Amino acid sequence: MSTLTGTGGLIRLILRRDRVRLPAWFGLVAMLVIGVASSVAAAYPTEEARQAFLHTTNGDPTQLMMIGPIYDSSAGGLAAWRVRGQAALLIALASLLLVIRSTRAEEEAGRSELLGSTVVGRHAALTAALTVAFAANLVAALVVALGLMGQGLPPRGSLVMGLSVAAAGWVFAAVAGLAAQLAESSHTAGGLAATAMGILYAVRAGADVEGSSWVSWLSPFGWTQHMRPFAGDHYWPLLPVIGLILLLGAGAYRMSARRDLGAGILPPRLGPADAAPSLRTSLALAWRLQRGTLLAWAIAFTAFGAGLGGAARSAAEQLNASEALRDLIERMGGGGRPADGFFAFVIYLMSQVIALYAIQATLRLRAEETSGRADIILTGPVGRLRWAGGHLAIVAAGSGIVLAGLGLGMGLVHGLSTGDPGGEIARLVGASLTRLPSVLVLAAVSALAYGLLPRLAAIIPYAALGLCLVLEFAVELLGADPAILKVSPFAQTPGLPVAAFTVTPLVLLAVVATGLTAAGLAGLRRRDLG
């Protein structure tokens, strides 16, 4: 029997099982790119307006960090710049989750062992998952290309734009395939792949802020950026993308051939034969299950914050050189302090990324339920609310720890350069923690979806986060009424350290988060598990 026997059947199984998730994940990315492109012409109708925007943006370190430079002032060039960062991250995350779900999660649940008892080859599951992921990215690329061409943009640039987005998805599908062989649990495998994605995006961000073009070649996000749709239309950066995919794929297949089904290359750390007294509560168990992911996020954001703190001085100089940006910071209440404006903008954006941690950590409840481990716990003297409450408490505390790590990294490095590390740490940690209620609202949406609609729990919170991003695009590019941002929790918190602190919106967000969580727990209490 070939090691690939049964691949076709597993592909059909993945398509059948994920018939809703696939269009939602990859279709959302394609529609985001097409929608933003359609708004650029209206937002910047003249060449003079586009040129002015190009010069302002390429001098703004926050935009360089989050998205990168603009390479061309045409409508296509601005559209490609505006959406490439978000689209690359979203499609990379979708590809990562798809491969982990179709490989390691299936082994962890025992379904792969059941299928393996039939005529299914050893590498069939990995091949099927990668095939579906690569095909989904390719379809998304074609939809993007056709959508952009339908708006009158050049065909070559439209195709390059679609491929540049899909290339990010291809790379991280391969990264996830390798992570699925390394780790024994789907949670750990997803954490490894997501950490790699964050580090590589940070490398690209640092390279663009510092203007180091050679450093950007150390990241796949830099490779796709160098494809420059509508600004040169380069296909050749796909060569290192293909090379890396082949290398990661070869490693994944080699590891798949060497390990036992259900096991990972990295052996799990075995605990003591007898549980410590500290593990006698549901809260302690939740901490034991969640601490690895929390530690990875906290370390990553502390390090990322340190990098931002080191770049703050040069970023402030660039911000100060732009009259438009100085006026913007003054309107925000910054009193002409560009460094504070830089930090406020960064904290605002990073809080949206940290919301992904809160969603992921909350959905650990669903993973515990579907794996059957929750049933074992709940057969003892532990109620559902106590069990779920332990996990949600870790989510709330963990979100605060990650936010504080971001502020600590920025404050420490920036404070050392200004001679006041204690003061800067206090200011920036406080500014970061002010965003905690916004993050917890997204965690509460996850808890609500898990309690009431568990089968859609993996879709609803991510859709809610995507809606917040879409509303920001509508206000920024379409000139929509800023009042629509009132539904976004991220737009409600004061933008410290430039804005004045107000407690009212924080209290309101806390009330909303509490109400949503309570509704979710009420639903969990009444429904059947599984």
- pLDDT of the residue at 240: 96
Residues 154-213: tens digit of each pLDDT:
999 999 999 999 999 999 999 999 999 999 888 788 888 888 888 898 889 888 877 777
Helices (H), 103-237: 104-109, 111-116, 124-150, 155-182, 186-210, 213-216, 220-225
Average pLDDT on 104-111 reads 84
Residues 440-491: tens digit of each pLDDT:
999 999 999 999 999 889 889 988 988 888 887 777 666 677 788 888 999 8
Residues 290-315: tens digit of each pLDDT:
988 898 889 888 888 887 887 776 66
Which DSSP letter does residue 481 get?
Answer: -
Residues 417-434: tens digit of each pLDDT:
888 889 999 999 999 999
Q: In this structure, is the dihedral angle defined by the CA atoms of residues 425, 428, 434 and 438, taken in order, positive or negative? A: negative
Indicate the burial class of 214 (C-beta count within 10 angstroms; 0-12, 13-18, 19 or more): exposed
Average pLDDT on 323-342 reads 60
The set of residues, in sequence order, having a beta carbon less than 8 Å from that of 483 and lying 6+ positions away, is none
The amino acid occupying position 402 is V
How far apart CA 127 and CA 124 sit, in angstroms, is 5
**What's this model's pTM, rounded to 2 decimal places?**
0.76
The amino acid occupying position 403 is L
How far apart CA 384 and CA 303 sit, in angstroms, is 37
Peptide bond into 497 cis (omega under 30): yes
Place of tokens 């070939």: 2
